[in-house]
């Protein structure tokens, strides 16, 4: 783990001896008409690059198509494809990716936005590093307009070798990308292919890992590269909601890449084992949290234990398993003693979470 270090550089501006690069942005929309104009305008206002926007509305019923049509009529850089019937999110996503013709490509959900200068900062890194398949940065989260003030000064570039980025992702066990912060090289996108329709809950994570099997990965440090909207109707809180679904999806993504497109990278089998161990430990940690709850359900605890053993058969040898066993032993202890143990566990989790967050904000993984 200690040897997984990216190459750090001072940011450089876009080259001025040729036309600014073309960035094609695909915006998917389903009943997000209330957010669509903000999303489109965040793209059209980008400086330093040439942009075009393709909106695909997947048969919305909230008037989104009328809003999208008005946006397309008002600016020739915007075009609209309106589905007469709902195709579903993955089919729509793959359709949109196939329509992007610029040197660089961005997939943006209609409820998200780009930060000011996002595209020029990412494109500058990509222009200076042709081996980089996609560039990303820190995603600023928000709930309502106006958005928080974004950091717009890039302080460093980090260039990850693809296999080292995958290794760090396996050690993390998480998808560290939310999506509006990503700019893809279209040529590399065509090489790795579209979203895997067999992975409805982790298609994005699997695509990022697949990129890293054929290219380097770039990180714009110090600047916010995308605005990620938090709201109760998002896919993350509806069709993709629930930790068990998330755990299973992440396991499937690692499995798909490390036994498929990435099976030839160094130590692929060991990396898959590392990822599986991390996911099993996370499931057991959640079982501990559930057990700590005064109204826990044995069935819920057992479901996470079963997932851990199925994912990593040696789960009984992990520290997380020992923590769960201690809770079972302490079940008959006085409430005050159990409360102290819970407080100690929460403090440890909080510290670990802070360390992970700082590492993510610094390096992207």
Reported as a pLDDT band with limits 50, 70 and 90, residue 350 is confident
Sign of CA dihedral 40, 44, 45, 46: positive
| 279-314 tens-digit pLDDT | 999 999 998 888 776 544 455 788 999 999 999 999
Tell me what pLDDT residue 51 has. 98
| 56-79 tens-digit pLDDT | 999 999 999 999 999 999 999 999
Reported as a pLDDT band with limits 50, 70 and 90, residue 1 is very low
Q: HSE of 156 in the Cβ direction (CA atoms, 13 Å)?
A: 12
| 199-216 tens-digit pLDDT | 999 999 999 999 999 999
Tokens of 236: 């993350």
- Based on the number of CB atoms within 10 Å of its own CB, is 152 exposed (0-12), middle (13-18) or buried (19 or more)? middle
Which helix (H) or strand (E) is 50 found in, with range?
Answer: strand 50-57
Tell me what pLDDT residue 322 has. 92
Tokens of 160: 């990850």
- In order of their start, the domains of the chain are 7-243 (3.90.550.10), 267-363 (no CATH)
| 98-150 tens-digit pLDDT | 999 999 999 999 999 999 999 999 999 999 999 999 999 999 999 988 888 99
CA triplet 199, 194, 362: central angle to 5 degrees? 80
String of DSSP letters for 77-102: TEEEEE-SS---HHHHHHHHHHH--S
Q: Is the pLDDT of residue 87 over 80?
A: yes
Q: Is the pLDDT of residue 234 over 80?
A: no
């Amino acid at each position: 783990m200690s040897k997984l270090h990216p190459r750090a550089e001072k940011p450089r501006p876009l080259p001025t001896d040729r036309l600014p690069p073309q960035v094609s942005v695909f915006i998917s929309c389903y009943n997000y008409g209330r957010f669509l104009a903000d999303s489109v305008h965040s793209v059209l206002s980008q400086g330093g690059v040439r942009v075009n926007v393709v909106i695909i509305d997947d048969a919305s019923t909230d008037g989104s198509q009328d809003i999208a049509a008005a946006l397309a009529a008002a600016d020739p850089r915007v075009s609209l494809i309106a589905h007469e019937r709902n195709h579903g999110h993955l089919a729509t996503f793959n359709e949109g990716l196939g329509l992007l013709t610029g040197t660089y490509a961005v997939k943006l959900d209609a409820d998200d936005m780009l930060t000011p200068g996002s595209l020029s900062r990412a494109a500058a890194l990509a222009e200076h590093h042709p081996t980089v398949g996609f560039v990303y940065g820190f995603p600023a989260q928000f709930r309502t307009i106006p958005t928080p003030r974004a950091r717009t000064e890039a302080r460093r570039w980090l260039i990850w070798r693809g296999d080292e980025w995958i290794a760090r992702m396996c050690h993390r066990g998480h998808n560290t990308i939310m999506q509006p912060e990503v700019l893809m090289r279209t040529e590399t996108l065509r090489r790795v292919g579209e979203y895997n329709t067999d992975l409805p809950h982790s298609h994005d994570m699997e695509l990022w890992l697949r990129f890293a099997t054929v290219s380097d990965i770039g990180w714009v440090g110090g600047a916010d590269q995308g605005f990620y909207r938090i709201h109760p109707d998002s896919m993350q809180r509806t069709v993709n909601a629930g930790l068990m679904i998330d755990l299973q999806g992440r396991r499937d993504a690692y499995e798909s890449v490390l036994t498929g497109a990435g099976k030839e990278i160094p130590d692929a089998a060991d990396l898959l084992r590392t990822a599986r161990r991390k996911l099993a430990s996370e499931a057991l940690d959640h079982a501990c949290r559930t057990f700590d709850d005064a109204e826990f359900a044995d069935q819920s605890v057992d479901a996470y234990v079963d997932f851990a053993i199925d994912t990593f058969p040696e789960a009984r040898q992990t520290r997380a398993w020992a923590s769960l066993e201690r809770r079972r032993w302490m079940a008959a202890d006085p409430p005050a003693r159990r409360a102290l143990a819970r407080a100690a566990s929460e403090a440890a989790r909080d510290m670990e979470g802070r360390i992970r967050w700082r590492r993510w904000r610094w390096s992207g993984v």
